[in-house]
Amino acid sequence: MYQDYTITHLRQLESEAIYILRETAAQFEKPVLLFSGGKDSIVMAYLAKKAFWPAKVPFPLMHVDTGHNFPETMEYRDAFIATLGVDLVVASVQEAIDTGKVIEEKGPYASRNSLQTVALLEALEAGQYDAALGGGRRDEEKARAKERFFSHRDAFGQWDPKNQRPELWNIFNGRKHHGEHFRIFPLSNWTEMDIWQYVKAEDLELPNLYFSHQRDCIVRQGVIMAVTDFIEVQADEEIENMTVRFRTIGDATCTGAALSTASSLEAIIAEVAAARETERGTRTDDKRSETAMEDRKKEGYF
């Protein structure tokens, strides 16, 4: 019988990501997987489980903790890591502030987003990690569209977008000098839709923030922000109870919500298919300038 040896787009992306994860384990001394509790890092950690099964994932997870978390994210994080049976390293932004390594932004629009870079680079250095796996996708943002799977960082953690190593076929060059490290992005070729379809296909559990729920919000600069302890509500801002969900989950001070009644994976997939705004459209951290992401990445951001 004639047989068609093709696999679906999700299985191709899965296979590619597993290949990258195994290359990372093989080419580096001490990798670490950056885990934010968002859907991309959950998918990445799950793929790591697949890559090394039935053995355990041979590297720890690292959470860069701004201290401004949604409580749901933290609950999910701890339960998820328990099922993987790997160690968790916490890089604390609060600690960096307390020890005077960074100075916190002031004012109602203050965010610890940019402070994460310092905490991350410190933690990578302290743990002597030479490869940090990130869940970044090229479809997210135009600077990320030019990112490599194996992205070289100099001894200062900086990215030089004009001088990146070419990546051909299945061959990834992770050679480096002492003190340098790599950022590695196994999900480079995934889109937001692929992530959701994969979550559905593999029946993965996600934090409930991704699903429609009621919560108190304010609208600031066109973005719906959840009212939390970390947000200073201004006199002219009105608190409203809204039916929302989050398309991305990050620091509570810069992650906007979207009005949505999608409470199941099917409904979310339909919503993503019909969406006319990018998921990062709700991220205030990208809105600071036209090349905000590239500028942060050069300094060592995710």
Partner 1 sequence: MSENTTAGYLNMDLLRFTTAGSVDDGKSTLIGRLLYDSKAIFEDQLEAIEQNSKARGDENINLALLTDGLRAEREQGITIDVAYRYFATPKRKFIIADTPGHIQYTRNMVTGASTANLAIVLVDARKGVIEQTCRHAFIADLLRIQHIVVCVNKMDLVDWSQEIFDNIVDDVKKFASRLNNIIDITFIPVSALLGDNIVDPSEHMNWYEGPTLLYYLETVYIGADVNHVDARLPVQWVIRPHSDAWHDFRGFAGRIAGGVFKPGDEVTVLPSGFQSKVKAIHTLNGELAEAYAPMSVAVTLVDEIDISRGDMLVKRNNPPVPRQDVEAMICWFSADKTLMARGKFILRHTTKEVKAIIKEVRYKVNINTLHKIEADLEFTLNDIGRISLRTSAPIIADSYKSNRITGSFVLIDDQTNETVAAGMII
Task: Select the span of 75-83, 101-109, 208-216, 265-273 touching partner 1 (CB under 8 A).
Answer: 265-273
Task: Select the span of 116-124, 188-196, 232-240, 250-258 touching partner 1 (CB under 8 A).
Answer: 188-196
User: Could you tell me the sign of the dihedral formed by the alpha carbons of 289, 285, 283, 118, in that order?
Assistant: positive
Closer residue to partner 1 in complex, CB, 101/175 = 175
Residues in 267-286 that interact with partner 1 by CB under 8 A: 269-270, 273-278, 281
Phi, psi torsion values for 152, nearest 5 degrees: -75, 140
Applying CB under 8 A, among 40, 65, 130, 139 the residue interacting with partner 1 is 139
Give the three-class secondary structure for 277.
Answer: coil
User: Could you tell me the sign of the dihedral formed by the alpha carbons of 148, 190, 279, 40, in that order?
Assistant: negative
Residues that contact partner 1, how many (by CB under 8 A): 71
State both tokens at 13.
């992306």
Task: Select the span of 86-94, 143-151, 206-214, 223-231 touching partner 1 (CB under 8 A).
Answer: 143-151
What is the smallest separation between the CB atom of 177 and partner 1, expressed in angstroms? 7
Closer residue to partner 1 in complex, CB, 170/214 = 170
Residues 90 and 73: beta-carbon distance below 8 Å:
no
* 184 contributes a contact to partner 1 by CB under 8 A: no
Residues in 67-126 that interact with partner 1 by CB under 8 A: none
Residues 6+ positions from 104 with CB-CB distance below 8 Å: 97, 110, 112, 115
List, edge to edge, every strand of the sheet that includes 150-153: 88-92, 61-65, 31-34, 131-133, 181-184, 150-153
Residues in 17-56 that interact with partner 1 by CB under 8 A: 18-19, 22-23, 25-26, 49-56
